[in-house]
C-alpha cells in the first residue's frame, strides 16, 4: 500500500520495487497461459505497465499480489484472444520425444513419477500443444484447478466469475482435454 | 456402479482428487467396458500433462525490472510527445518570431515616423542653402559671388590647359 502511494506521488523507485517484489508471482501466473519464455516476459511487462496506469484504482482493500494476479489473468487472456488459434494437434505432429513419452505412459506406467528434467520438459511441451486446442479460459481453469490444486473459490476470485461458472468451465475443459488426448492416443495406436 | 459408465466421474473433479472408493468403482467398470477404459487412459494422461504443464514455471530474468522501467519511461515519453514537440517547436521558432516582430516594428517606424522627419530636414536644408538646383538652372545668368563671369572662368581654365600643352 505504501509502495502504491509513493508510486502515485511520482516516486519511480517505489514502482521499481513493486516490479522486483511481484515479478515472480506475475511470471508464475503468466506461465499458466504461455509456454515460451519471450511470451511470458512480454505478458509480464504488459502487466506491470498496465498496473502502473491503473494504480490510481488500487485502493489497498485486497493484497497487491491478488490485484496484480487479476491484472495478469485478464492481460494474458486478452493477449491470447488477439492471437491466432493454432490448428488441431495431429499424432503425426508429435516429436520423437513426445511419442516416447506417450508410449512410456501407455505401457502401464501412467502414474509413475518421472524425475528426469528432460522428460518433464517434453511432457510440458506436449501438454502445451494438446491444451492449445482448448479455449483460453478452459485452459486457465484446468491449469489452476487440476494442475495447481487451486480451489474453485480461488479461481473465481482471480477471474471475477461465479463459482458455479468456474465449476462448469472446469468440467467442460476436463472433458475436452480428455477427448483430445483420447483422439491423439487412438491416432497414435492406429499409426 | 459396475454397470454405469464412469466418464461422468472422470469429468466431475480432478483425476488426482478421486478417492479410493471411486477408483475401485472405476477399475471394476473398465474391466469390461472398452470405451470407459480408453477414457480412463486418456484421463490419466491428461492429468499428468496438466500437472507437468502447471509446474513448468518460468522465472523472471535478472534484468526484468530494468527492462520494465525502461519500457515505462519510453511509453510515458511517447504519451507526452505531442505536447513536448509543440514546446520544442515553439522554442525553435521563438527567435524567428522575435526577429520578425522587431522587423515589423522597424518597418512601422520607417513608414510612419521617418518620412515626416525627412521632409522637415529637407525644408531645413533648403532654408540654409541659397543655391538649389532650380536656382542654378533658371538663374544661370546671375553672377557668382566672387564676381567672375562664366566666360571668364572658362577662359581661365582653357588658357591654363593650352599653356600647359605649349
Measured distance between the N- and C-terminal CA atoms of chain A, rounded to whole angstroms:
58
Contact check, Cβ <8 Å, A178/B46? yes
Contact check, Cβ <8 Å, B58/A40? yes
The complex's ipTM works out to: 0.74
Helix extents (H) in chain B? 7-12, 20-30, 34-55, 64-112, 114-128, 133-138, 150-165
pLDDT at position A52: 92
pLDDT at position B146: 59
B41 with A185: CB under 8 angstroms?
yes
The beta-carbon neighbor of B67 closest among A40, A45, A186 is: A45
pLDDT at position B94: 77
Chain A interface mutation, best of B5, B30, B52, B78, highest count of A Cβ atoms under 10 Å: B52
Written as tens digits, the pLDDT of chain A (191 aa) is 688 888 888 888 999 999 999 999 999 989 888 878 898 999 999 999 999 998 888 877 778 888 999 999 999 888 887 765 555 555 666 777 777 777 777 666 544 555 566 777 788 788 888 888 888 888 889 989 998 899 999 999 888 899 999 999 999 999 999 999 998 888 877 66
The C-alpha atoms of residue A145 and residue A137 are separated, in whole angstroms, by 12
pLDDT at position A49: 94
Which CATH architecture group holds A2-82? Orthogonal Bundle (1.10)
Q: Which three cell numbers stand for residue B165?
A: 600643352
Q: Which helix (H) or strand (E) holds A129?
A: helix A117-131
Given CB atoms, is A167 within the 8 Å cutoff of chain B? no
> What's the CATH fold of domain A91-190?
Arc Repressor Mutant, subunit A (1.10.10)
The beta-carbon neighbor of B52 closest among A32, A110, A123 is: A123
Chain A interface mutation, best of B7, B58, B73, B79, highest count of A Cβ atoms under 10 Å: B58
The C-alpha atoms of residue A16 and residue A18 are separated, in whole angstroms, by 5
Q: Which residues of chain B have pLDDT under 70?
A: 1-4, 80-89, 92, 114-148, 153, 159-166
Domain residues of chain A, as ranges? 2-82, 91-190
Grouping H, G, I as helix, E, B as strand and the rest as coil, residue A34 is: coil
Amino acid at each position: 500500500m505504501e509502495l502504491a502511494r509513493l508510486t502515485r506521488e511520482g516516486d519511480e523507485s517505489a514502482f521499481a520495487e513493486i516490479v522486483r517484489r511481484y515479478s515472480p508471482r506475475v511470471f508464475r501466473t503468466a506461465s499458466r497461459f504461455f509456454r515460451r519464455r519471450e511470451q511470458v516476459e512480454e505478458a509480464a511487462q504488459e502487466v506491470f505497465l498496465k498496473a502502473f496506469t491503473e494504480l490510481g484504482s488500487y485502493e489497498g482493500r485486497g493484497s497487491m499480489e491478488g490485484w496484480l494476479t487479476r491484472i495478469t489473468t485478464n492481460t494474458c487472456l486478452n493477449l491470447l484472444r488477439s492471437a491466432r488459434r493454432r490448428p488441431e494437434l495431429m499424432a503425426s505432429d508429435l516429436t520423437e520425444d513426445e511419442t516416447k513419452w506417450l508410449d512410456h505412459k501407455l505401457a502401464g506406467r501412467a502414474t509413475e513419477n518421472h524425475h528426469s528434467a528432460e522428460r518433464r520438459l517434453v511432457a510440458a511441451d506436449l501438454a502445451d500443444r494438446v491444451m492449445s486446442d482448448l479455449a483460453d479460459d478452459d485452459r486457465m481453469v484446468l491449469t489452476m484447478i487440476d494442475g495447481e490444486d487451486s480451489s474453485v473459490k480461488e479461481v473465481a476470485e482471480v477471474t471475477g466469475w461465479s463459482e458455479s461458472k468456474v465449476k462448469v468451465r472446469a468440467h467442460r475443459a476436463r472433458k475436452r482435454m480428455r477427448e483430445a488426448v483420447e483422439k491423439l492416443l487412438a491416432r497414435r495406436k492406429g499409426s | 456402479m459396475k454397470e454405469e459408465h464412469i466418464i461422468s466421474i472422470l469429468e466431475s473433479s480432478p483425476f488426482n482428487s478421486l478417492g479410493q472408493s471411486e477408483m475401485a468403482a472405476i477399475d471394476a467398470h473398465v474391466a469390461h467396458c472398452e470405451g470407459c477404459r480408453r477414457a480412463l487412459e486418456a484421463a490419466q494422461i491428461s492429468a499428468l500433462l496438466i500437472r507437468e504443464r502447471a509446474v513448468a514455471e518460468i522465472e523472471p530474468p535478472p534484468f526484468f525490472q530494468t527492462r520494465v522501467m525502461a519500457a515505462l519511461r519510453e511509453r510515458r515519453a511517447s504519451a507526452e510527445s505531442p505536447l513536448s514537440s509543440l514546446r520544442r517547436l515553439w522554442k525553435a521558432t521563438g527567435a524567428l518570431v522575435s526577429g520578425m516582430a522587431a522587423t515589423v516594428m522597424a518597418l512601422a517606424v520607417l513608414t510612419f515616423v521617418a518620412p515626416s522627419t525627412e521632409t522637415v530636414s529637407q525644408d531645413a536644408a533648403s532654408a540654409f542653402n541659397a543655391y538649389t538646383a532650380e536656382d542654378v538652372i533658371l538663374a544661370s545668368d546671375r553672377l557668382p559671388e566672387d564676381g567672375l563671369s562664366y566666360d571668364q572662368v572658362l577662359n581661365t581654365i582653357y588658357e591654363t590647359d593650352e599653356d600647359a600643352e605649349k
